[in-house]
Structure 1
Amino acid sequence: MALAPSALAAAMLAAAVLLPSGSLDQAQTGIAPKYRGVNLASAEFAPKKLPGVAGQDYIYPTKATAEPFAAMGMNSIRLPFLWERIQPEAKGPLNEEEAKRLDASLNDLRGFEQVILDLHNYGRFRGKPLARADRSADALADLWTRLAQRYKDRPGIAFGIMNEPHGIRATEWRAIAEETTAAIRRTGARNLILVPGSNWTGGHSWHNGGDGDNGAALAGFIDPGRNFAFEIHQYLDRDSSGSNPGCSGPRIGTERLQAVTRWLRQQKARAVLGEFGVDSSPACLAALDDMLGFLRQNGDVWIGWNYWAGGDWWGDYALGIQPKNGKERPQAAVLRKYLGR
């Protein structure tokens, strides 16, 4: 999650023009997204304490953490983790101790139809943006080659190749993402691959123009395995960062996703809304309800969503939905409406 991305303040609503219902180049379908779930965040915590102490600075989600969401009827988990912990040296071997922690978490989550491995690194390794010029981008393909070899025989695991890249030109990011995708396919892996855009992969800013124009840069994206979806994020506060209280209107989520939804349909592409979340104010709950209704009506292109966030270590985090003392958060009541077919 982008907790305080000041860069997003400039990426407001330029492309997200609200269109009349049913005018997204085709009639809305009423097909519900197949995958509906939550981010179980905690394994990516304490990035400034690398490698950190497992169980003290960060922790992988367990069956007990996930159980309330399984009971709600969710079928998808997005599992954030850090690159530097699982592969301490670029292009080096995986840290087997850390990989076993990830394995154990995945085993605990086997009851879910889908688990997304979310590399939560913002287009960076040890703080430095990836680039093809210095070959640092090759390291991403190397990491995913190793992970794909480990998990390619588990089709319920999806590969989220990078969380919220930013500070990388969209055209440069496309090349990096295609190289990484091709490397995964060379292992024989047929798993679903989730490809973000640059510029924090915001739905509202997908057509920002210039170096950040994901719509132009990612048109015609190539996956040799033909099993990918774009990963898009959308928060409903004033700058789409998820770091401010309140929401910017009862239909703000729908408004911000209109243009990118039309683009997806024109591209004959699919997407997952990998992060979104609101506080528990009545206005935000209404906006959440409206946006989830929009996703349900456009499930031909929106194949999944994962709310931000669950996890045992969130405390009183305003967007959190991990039950507290056995009591569900208010946001859960809205999410429940959209967990059936």
Structure 2
Amino acid sequence: MKVRGQYVKESELFFVYEIHSLTNLSSQIPREIEFIDPKFTEQKTGKKGNSIERRRSDGPPEINDDEMPTTDADEYVLDVPEVELEFSEPAYTTRKSSDGRRRSGSSKGQSEEGLDDSTNSQTDVSTDEPTVRGEIPVGVPDGIDDQSDDSHLFTRKFEAFIAMSNLLEIKGCRIVAEEMIPLPALKGHSKHRLPDGNPRYLLYRVFRYKNQNYALVEVDTVDSEARLSTLLLKQPSEKYDWHSKLSNMGWSLVKTSLRWPTNKRLEKDFPAGFRRVPHQQNIQSRLGRKDTATLSHWMGRLYSVLADLHTTQLP
């Protein structure tokens, strides 16, 4: 724990004023947790789902906990100092609007909208639990910075890709490095997250083939109608910082709604060469042992592109 406060030596008590971080937290909870909230609707391509607006006020609202907040108004997000949390064994969480059971009284296609700013000049908010009898908006603190290392929970999204690239060893390739990088959160953009609310990752694997390093780059786009192709990049120099370069590429992916950089940009960043390798129609994130033939065919297609890139002489 990292806290700020006052220590009383005589009684050996510490009075905490502020909590800055809590790390290595243990919890006896299931490894997979599903949150169900009718206010959340997965966004479908080309369609608008139900949404509830959480407003950030232009100025700091007045906290008035003498009044009860209402459930009928927008939530106001309160800017507060962030507290870092780190769980020793983080859980894999998903969110959706329904558990699949039909409920009476629901209206299909109904959307929830926030109140119009022009008709609501209320600046007082309450941080209590909202009730139907409340009269002022609720203020929700947004001050949790989760630092838990949960990247291993999302490796299964790339099981097929990892299994396929492992097969490159029979062609003389040797995996020398790999890393999963979460796409960054950018204001005004949403593609850094999957429809279930989890972060979207980029995975790259660096391998050596005939004394030359290459990188295979894959992005989790199984939720999209059009999946990104696999990017094959030839390492420009003997010593190369793949993490920095591909982290910057992550920013570009979010800004362009999951599109690889243009050929002109790739030619500038990877002058040694690059290729885009489209996915097969039957490739899914998870493939079992019985899909060995599919994985082998996928690997063969990629290897033929690699061999061509390796023998290509640049002007």
TM-score, with structure 1 as normaliser: 0.23
Higher normalized helix content (fraction of residues):
1
Q: Which has the higher contact order (CA 8 A, sep 6+)?
A: 1
Select the structure of larger CA radius of gyration. 2
Higher normalized strand content (fraction of residues):
2
TM-score, with structure 2 as normaliser: 0.24
